[in-house]
Structure 1
Amino acid sequence: MTREEARQLGRIAVGAGVAGAVGAVGAALGAGFVVLLKRQAAHARAIIGKPFGEVAPFADKVYKKSYGDPVELLLLGDSIAAGLGAEDADGTLGARLAKGIAKKTRRAVRLTTAAKVGSESWMLPEQLMSLLPSYRPDVAVIVVGGNDVTHRVPIADSVKHLTESIEALRVRGAAVVVGTCPDLSALRALPQPLRSLGARASRQLASAQAQAAHGAGAYVVSLADVVGPFFITNPDEMFSLDRFHPSAVGYKRTAKAMLPSVLAALGVRDQVPFGHRAPTPT
């Protein structure tokens, strides 16, 4: 998350805080709550910085080329999908997924990353437009939502763009796996009550994403369930230097957690574990 994203999180918290505080205990306490949240957001911006800039490591290539018959893997979404926070290309989510797919399928994997740092759900169609019309991914992985929360994008708008992108990918012949919005309660760099407000908004979006993605025929992975506890209990290991994006270890754990649905989407396995949801057969 960049400084601007932290600033926007402060703004959505202020909006939510005003409504809750005014409704519960009156305007005077509401005003004090706003001041508190503004101070907390300013402090968060001061400590976050941009140690990685705003460009993720470039990881696109063919993994395990000697296996042949490459699987076409596409990554769409925000900074997590792009791999910001990883020290090098091999530590990104895309690279980790590619290696996991290659190991299980004994096929090469060609990774294409259209995800961009700072993206919101409305930018998914733009990412698809950046691909050649002839490009046909075997499986597309989408991770998006954190910036929708911090930028106060209405949930209905977020899921609309997500659904349309899933449908467009399926027209291309791709199976789709959606990692829902991470639970922002893991972001210890945000003090309370700012963190709780962001966490509540992220959980609401994740629930709506899961319902919409499943309805559109995608596999759904609840990142809050399958990997969130690791970030909460081991933040020093799982987060990168900015305390917002995953580290290489965090991406390794996230890829491992998402892999069952990716493999199921490819027809390599039948069942998916807790925190995963397969599309309803048609």
Structure 2
Amino acid sequence: MALPDKTTKAAAGALVALSGLYGLLIGEVLLARKRIGTTDEVPPLSDGVYGVDFPGTPLRVLLMGDSAAVGYGMKQADQTPAALIGFGLSHLIDTPVDIATVAKVGARSSHLREQVAEGRSHRPDLAIIIIGANDVTHQVPPRRAGRLLAAAIAELRSLGADVVVGTCPDLGTVKQLPQPLRVAARILSRKMARGQLVATLAAGGRAVTLADLLGPLFVSKGDVLFGEDRFHPSDVGYATMVSFLNAGAAASWRERRSEDYTGAPRDYMSVARAATEASEHGGTQVVRDGRLARVLRRRR
């Protein structure tokens, strides 16, 4: 029987080390959450029609995902993602927006199927999904999370809805995690985001990369962009996230209305290259176009 070579041994050792770091990461996340504490308070209900003064039939939007979509920690209705999307998007497209939220705190990609079922009665024209962080902390493999996300997107599209996905944020920016676990968190969350991006494109959705949402801006202005628990966004932090998502939603709406829409630069490349590039630039939108993909960068 042949003995394993040095390369095989090194790979096995690296795998064991990564598994150990993953276990430590999960433990530190749980400890951080315990130190931070949780709240049973539910953000105010902010579903409904926004932009009622605009003409036309309201665009029906379904908001899905985890606590980032719910607006964990917000105490005023106008600070929640639903309200920020409804108000902001209606003014971007000059059309009323009727938004319904089925997102749940703690949700993972495995919960998207039941959220789609719950939201069917809203008959969405557009679905916005924010998911991934809890998949990382619950050790869900990126490929499995991606398959579950793709299945939800496919079902939404079969209902006639366009889909915009906000990919997993960079968990390595959470200062509650000590080094070197923060580095591991960054690697794992970016790997999750890349898998989500590929899955989204394959299923016909539009991806908005949020990897840098808690990046340099949150480091330099953390006192403003982080909430009281220093773990979830503040009202300004949520508004920053929603600004990325609304841009993607508005572009999706315009493209649905006109195939000739050219409001954003078109930079064609392979799906794999687009996924790699987008994972390095927060707020980037990626849309599949045949066998290629378009990377739409946010103007700064």
Does TM, normalized by the shorter one, top 0.5? yes
Taking a change above 3 Å as real, the CA distance of residues 131 and 40 of structure 1, as seen in their structure-2 partners, is closer
How does the TM-score come out when normalised to structure 1? 0.81
Tell me the secondary structure at the aligned position of residue 99 of structure 2: strand
Q: Which residue of 1 aligns with 2:96?
A: 108
Q: In structure 1, what residue type is equivalent to 2:138?
A: H
Tell me the secondary structure at the aligned position of residue 168 of structure 1: helix
- CA shift, 1:36, in A, is 7.7
- CA shift, 1:191, in A, is 1.5
Structure 1 residues 167-206: Cα deviation after superposition (integer angstroms, max 9, x where no partner): 0111111111011000001211221122222221101000
1:88 has 2:76 as partner: yes
For the residues of structure 2 that align with 1:78 and 1:34, how far apart are their CA atoms? 21
For the residues of structure 2 that align with 1:54 and 1:34, how far apart are their CA atoms? 30
The 8 Å contact of residues 264 and 272 in structure 1, kept in 2 or not, is answered as no
For the residues of structure 2 that align with 1:171 and 1:277, how far apart are their CA atoms? 21
Tell me the secondary structure at the aligned position of residue 98 of structure 2: strand
Taking a change above 3 Å as real, the CA distance of residues 43 and 129 of structure 1, as seen in their structure-2 partners, is closer
Taking a change above 3 Å as real, the CA distance of residues 77 and 17 of structure 1, as seen in their structure-2 partners, is farther
Tell me the secondary structure at the aligned position of residue 76 of structure 1: strand
Tell me the secondary structure at the aligned position of residue 261 of structure 1: helix
For the residues of structure 2 that align with 1:236 and 1:73, how far apart are their CA atoms? 31
2:17 to 17, 20, 40: 20
Taking a change above 3 Å as real, the CA distance of residues 78 and 17 of structure 1, as seen in their structure-2 partners, is farther
Structure 1 residues 61-86: Cα deviation after superposition (integer angstroms, max 9, x where no partner): 11122324211111111000111122
Tell me the secondary structure at the aligned position of residue 53 of structure 1: coil
Unpaired runs of at least 5, structure 1? 1-15, 23-29
The 8 Å contact of residues 183 and 224 in structure 1, kept in 2 or not, is answered as yes
Higher helix share: 1
Tell me the secondary structure at the aligned position of residue 288 of structure 2: coil
1:271 to 264, 267, 274: 264
1:48 to 11, 36, 43: 36
The 8 Å contact of residues 54 and 117 in structure 1, kept in 2 or not, is answered as no
Q: Which residue of 1 aligns with 2:124?
A: 137
1:178 has 2:149 as partner: no
Q: In structure 2, what residue type is equivalent to 1:123?
A: H
Q: In structure 1, what residue type is equivalent to 2:16?
A: A
Q: Which residue of 1 aligns with 2:115?
A: 127
Task: For CA contacts below 8 A with separation 6 or more, give which structure has more relative contact order.
Answer: 1
Q: In structure 2, what residue type is equivalent to 1:184?
A: L
**Identity over aligned pairs, percent:** 38
The 8 Å contact of residues 261 and 278 in structure 1, kept in 2 or not, is answered as no
For the residues of structure 1 that align with 2:133 and 2:23, how far apart are their CA atoms? 24
Alpha carbon RMSD of aligned pairs, Å?
A: 2.8
Q: Which residue of 2 aligns with 1:242?
A: 229
Q: In structure 1, what residue type is equivalent to 2:61?
A: L
